[in-house]
Amino acid sequence: NKLREMYLHQNGVFGDFPPDIGLMEDLQDLRVHENEMWGYLPDTFWKLTKMKKLWLQDTLDCELDEADEVKCMRSPDKGFQGSISPEVGNMKKLSQLLLNNNPFTGVLPAELGLCKELSRLHVHQTFITGVVPNEICLLRDEELFDHTGQIGVFYADCRPNNKTQDPYISCDCCSDCCDHTHGVCVADD
């Protein structure tokens, strides 16, 4: 229960997201990016009120090639799935939420605006759709600053998809808009 930081990134972790992580009430920093993990985040996970940094981005899809060597690449089609629970608002100390390159779906919950210390939000290369709630845009306008005084970073798939289709997300406050198909992001300040 007393674990505050867990860094498992680029560790070859394979499998479902461990449901017991949601019971680690003192957890403040969880980095499991660049592993071959998948599954739904447990309901208890969104109740981690001390969480400050949550890095789940860049889930890998690994396969054996013809020479029996493991080859891994990022894939927005494999990895963590489901939607971001409105209970994310319980994580009021959250400063970094990186979810990109995962098949998350649904919309960004307005309750994310309760995370007043949020300075980095990456939801590009996901299947999150809809309009970014005003509560999140207000964070960018008023509070989305890191501790150096720089404006915060908010990446989303708000560029026309494949240059011809509607963007996944409609956003007036993203710092960088990405094309979901091509993965190209352009500053939109």
* Cα gap 143→188, rounded to integer Å: 18
pTM of the model: 0.88
Q: For a pLDDT cut of 70, what percent of the chain falls above it?
A: 92
Kindly report the length of the chain: 189
Nearest to residue 126, comparing CAs of 173, 167, 90? Answer: 167
The letter for the amino acid at 122 is: H
26-73 residue pLDDT tens: 999 988 888 788 889 888 889 899 999 999 888 878 888 888 888 888
CA distance 124 to 49: 25
In the chain, which residues have pLDDT < 70?
1, 140-151, 188-189
Q: What are phi and psi of 137, to 5 degrees?
A: -65, -35
- Residue type for 149, please? G
Q: Which amino acid is at 8?
A: L
